[in-house]
Amino acid sequence: MTTSTHGDVFLGIDLGTSSCKVVIAERAGKILAHATRTYPLTLKNAGGVEQDPQKWWTAICEATRETLQTGDIDPRRIAAIGATGQWSGTVAVGSNGKPLRPAIIWMDTRGAPYIHRLTSGFPGIAGYRFDKLIQWLRKTGGAPAHAGKDSLAHVLYLKYEEPDVYRSTRCFLEPKDYVNLQLTGVFAASWDNVVVTWITDNRDAANIRYDEGLIGMAGLDREKFPHLMASSDIVGKVTAEAAGDLGIPVGVPVVAGAGDMQASLLGSGCVRPNQFHLYVGTSSWLTAHVPYKRTDLSHNIASLPSAIRGLYVIASTQESAGSSLTYVRDLLFGAGDTAPSYEALSALAGQAAPAEGRILFAPWPYGERAPVEDRDLRAAFFNLSLSAGRPQLVRTVLEGIAYNTRWMLSPVEKLAGHRAEPIRIGGGGARSPLWCQIFSDVLDRRIETVAEPAYATARGAAALAALGTMKVTLSDIGAAIPTGRTYTPQPTNVLLYERMYQAFLRYHARTSGLYRELNASERSRAHV
């Protein structure tokens, strides 16, 4: 094995929706080695989506061991560990630290009826009882989403639908915080991650705390929620059991980490206010750090606590990005080993001209969060003709996801008070030069790629580990992340995509009622 000074590299874990990514990075952000493991989703009736936490842990252990092996890295070099992962999920954990049931993840909508019951009333505004809405906005900066995909909705679902599980729960943990429990045996949460329970007072971004009034309003029990700490605080040290599973030394420090949105900003080098980041993975988000707490209720966008103490981050999430592409790929080519790679899909899409056939794709296979919150929306191709082939369909998916991002752009810029340019792009989607150019043309903004974009979020987790052990400063992180190619808008395509984008907006306006009619009745049958 390669030898070097002990304690000079950092392990970053990114527990995504479809896969776990593990990196080992230097303090300057250079990734020395990485590995990925996948795991399945379980779709349930009435909008349920779950995963097995044990499969998460198995994937983390396998990916960590592979990373060490392929990078020829002495495990004793690991100075600290940072974790990130899918946000707004819920793991009900018993007093022995074991899950009481499968994890409910961010796509799950079964708690929506209980959110409606909690939030509605007279006098009301936008579906919220006015006095409750004022409390949430004033203290948290947002409010529970009616789609039922927030952690609060998951906990309420368990309280009313699975009361035995609720009573037996020692702690409700976000997926990333469950990983930290496995690593250290400590029940804790980073305060940026727990915010979507909507029971924390976020007015002081350097001191987030639970609010007894919000907890009482939600009808929850404070003792079932974890101790809070900042993202760069040390949770604990790796236990002997976890060390054996991972193949690393006992006692490595573990920082609290952050949600995937917050970590991706660090991993892309966007550490100062109004440095904009577009992440394109299973889901997608357009975000930036800002120094204040604000809310855009009409677009389901708010600034929530950041991984950086004292700052907020714009939370603007598009539900389905890469998952839309995967879904269409599997329909066109079949799933499994015979399915083409994403590089091959990008090359196929490149055979079609921009907006060829004037086809629209609605990228909403599982509803949408922003800039419109609507769990009834669904995916569709519109304006198909017999001349449309696979290249046109795949390119149309890439364009449709970009149109939805364009829809988020204006409210994000308004909340930030700044024009979003340049925009740094990360996530697996950033590996496609074609898709990066489409984003540049549709958004009419310069797009900068970051080094190893698919691992930017895991790199952000490793950066938090370095920050928490005082091996680097924020300025070091911002300066260290290299950028790659810059994409500039092509004027002819900008004009063409502007017309298509306006058609995309009209498509939504004219069909949203029909989606609601069709899928509300489907939910009713599911509850019978």
Structural domains of the chain, count: 1
Residue 152 resides in a domain = no
Sign of the dihedral through C-alpha 520, 526, 527, 528: positive
3-state class of 156 per DSSP?
helix
Closest CA to 179 of 255, 240, 252: 255
- Write down the pLDDT at residue 479: 86
Query: Mean pLDDT across the stretch 142-160?
Result: 95
3-state class of 315 per DSSP?
strand
Query: Mean pLDDT across the stretch 38-66?
Result: 96
Tokens 């904009």 correspond to what residue? Answer: 276
With beta carbons less than 8 A apart as the criterion, state whether 29 and 52 touch: no
- Write down the pLDDT at residue 525: 45
Closest CA to 253 of 240, 236, 239: 236
Residue 97 resides in a domain = no
With beta carbons less than 8 A apart as the criterion, state whether 300 and 369 touch: yes
User: Residues with Cβ < 8 Å from 13, sequence gap 6 or more?
Assistant: 20, 21, 22, 60, 64, 81, 82, 83, 84, 85, 179, 458, 461
Residue 194 resides in a domain = no
- Write down the pLDDT at residue 128: 94
pLDDT confidence band for 6 (50 / 70 / 90): low
DSSP 368-407: B-SSS-BTT---EEES--TT--HHHHHHHHHHHHHHHHHH
Query: Mean pLDDT across the stretch 32-59?
Result: 96
Contacts 24+ apart (CB under 8 A), 452-456: 452/31, 452/34, 453/425, 453/426, 453/427, 453/428, 454/21, 454/426, 454/427, 454/428, 454/430, 455/14, 455/21, 455/23, 455/31, 455/34, 455/267, 456/264, 456/267, 456/268, 456/279, 456/426, 456/427, 456/430
Q: How many whole angstroms separate alpha carbon 382 and alpha carbon 400?
A: 11
Question: Per residue in 477-497, pLDDT tens?
Answer: 888 888 889 999 999 999 999
Average pLDDT, the chain: 94
Count of CB atoms within 10 A of residue 505's CB?
Answer: 12
User: Residues with Cβ < 8 Å from 434, sequence gap 6 or more?
Assistant: 346, 349, 350, 395, 398
Structural domain boundaries enclosing 493: 315-453+485-527
- Write down the pLDDT at residue 336: 82
pLDDT confidence band for 263 (50 / 70 / 90): very high
Residue 206 resides in a domain = no
178: tokens are 């469950």
40-to-16, 20, 64, 110, 332 alpha-carbon distances in Å: 11, 11, 19, 19, 20
pLDDT confidence band for 419 (50 / 70 / 90): very high
Residue 120 resides in a domain = no
3-state class of 413 per DSSP?
helix
The tally of CA atoms less than 13 A away on the side-chain side of residue 505 is 10
CA Rg, the chain, in Å? 22
Residue 165 resides in a domain = no
pLDDT confidence band for 5 (50 / 70 / 90): very low
Model confidence at 242: pLDDT above 50: yes
326: tokens are 């995967």
Question: Per residue in 182-226, pLDDT tens?
Answer: 999 999 999 999 999 999 999 999 999 999 999 999 999 999 999
Q: What is the CATH number of the domain that holds 390?
A: 3.30.420.40
Using CB atoms within 10 A of its CB, is residue 308 exposed (0-12), middle (13-18) or buried (19+)?
Answer: buried
With beta carbons less than 8 A apart as the criterion, state whether 300 and 145 touch: yes
Question: Per residue in 335-385, pLDDT tens?
Answer: 888 899 999 999 999 999 999 999 999 999 989 999 999 989 999 999 999
Residue 366 resides in a domain = yes
3-state class of 209 per DSSP?
strand
